[in-house]
Amino acid sequence: MRICLLYDCLYPHTIGGAERWYRDIGARLAAEGHDVTYVTLRQWDKDVNPDFAGVRVVTAGPRLELYAEAGRRRIAPPLVFGLGTLWHLLRHGRGYDVVHTASFPYFSLLAAGLARRVHGFRLLVDWHELWTRAYWERYLGRIGGWVGWTVQHLCLRVPQRAFTPSRLQAERLREEGFRGQVTVLDGRYEGTLDPAQARPADPFVVFAGRLIPEKQAPAIVPAVKAARERLPDLRGVIFGDGPDRAAVLAAIAEHGMEGVVEAPGFVDRSRVEDALDRALCMVLPSRREGYGLVVVEAAHRGLPSVVVRDPDNAAAELVHDGENGFVAESASPEDLADAILRVHSDGDPLRERTAAWFNHNAARLSLRRSLDRLAELYAGRSARS
């Protein structure tokens, strides 16, 4: 079968959950004998061959800076990628049986929808996230938010088979008027499925992720300070970099947490894993998550998670109060500190329950399961072709 994968980033030249997802899909399909092309923007030097695992990589645009200083996506790269995608599919779309794309950055999906009318390929779309109009307006203001929501709504009207990583996103698709078939592929964990075991905890909390406003990492600092009133030895470490790093450092200084809360930036993966092995809990105060993979990664170590209840936070689906962590009512210092102290109070029994939660859900949440389901879908479509 001839397959085209569309995404404007390519792992490991850029790093993120969606980048890993499409690279894994491409490698799996190529290993099964499919002819796979990956269309993206260039993120590598011109003398580098980006092909991988039998997958041919094609560029639909030049190297561009994807993010503004505030951590928001720039508008120019999606437009360039959309035009490049349209040009590629109009020229080569007849040579594809299936085009599989992310919904974002939207213009590439609209381009695929137009080219589909010409060439008739099947269109599969991953909706990693779907934003409400209210969220769009909070993100870009009233006018910009309306434009963003309208473009997203146009994408929903393109005939497609839709996939999402969470029930939240599936429900959003229905609420926003999507009438096609939706499949939840909630297996994204690519680590080993060895049985999890509870481990002794040191008195510190850990955050690992890109420091963008939606993650609300600065909120961890006053939460640690508040929790130290009852747990004086508590410390914190915030791994990652991004536009909110300055806000994290400012919060540490403002609350007098130098030497108590660390923010070392990006570090070797081994250092993050060591912290996850020893921490009291993983704290993810995000107000918006399409999935929340770090919750599963933590649970494999018997490490409970603290997340925040929010209408846009799918990570809360992965945390069951008292079983593998706690869902704080907000990212306020009081609510986060209360959840952290509940983890400490529950002690080793909570860590044992967290390990048991992982062992019970590991097969369902594994990347292999989602890739197996996708492979079955591709095979079924191929047979009908």
Is-contact 61 33, C-beta < 8 A?
A: no
Q: pTM of the predicted model, to two decimals?
A: 0.90
pLDDT tens digits, residue range 345-383? 999 999 999 999 999 999 999 999 999 998 888 876 543
Q: What percentage of the chain has pLDDT greater than the value 90?
A: 89
The ranges of the chain annotated as CATH 3.40.50.2000 are: 2-188+366-384, 204-365
Report residue 71's pLDDT band, with 50, 70 and 90 as the boundaries. Answer: low
Going by C-alpha positions, the residue among 291, 271, 207 that lies closest to residue 241 is: 207
Going by C-alpha positions, the residue among 59, 52, 66 that lies closest to residue 24 is: 52
CB-count exposure of residue 33 (10 Å: 0-12, 13-18, 19+): exposed
CATH code at 204-365? 3.40.50.2000
pLDDT tens digits, residue range 182-205? 999 999 998 888 999 888 999 999
Task: State whether residue 117 is helix, strand or coil.
Answer: helix
Report residue 335's pLDDT band, with 50, 70 and 90 as the boundaries. Answer: very high
Is-contact 259 233, C-beta < 8 A?
A: no
Q: What percentage of the chain has pLDDT greater than the value 70?
A: 98
pLDDT tens digits, residue range 212-269? 999 999 999 999 999 999 999 999 999 999 899 999 999 999 999 999 999 999 999 9
**Arithmetic mean of pLDDT, 115-140:** 94
The pLDDT mean for the chain works out to 94
User: According to the model, what pLDDT value does residue 382 have?
Assistant: 46
Question: Class assignment of domain 2-188+366-384?
Answer: alpha beta
pLDDT tens digits, residue range 274-333? 999 999 999 999 999 999 999 999 999 999 999 999 999 999 999 999 999 999 999 999
Question: Which amino acid is residue 2, in one-letter code?
Answer: R
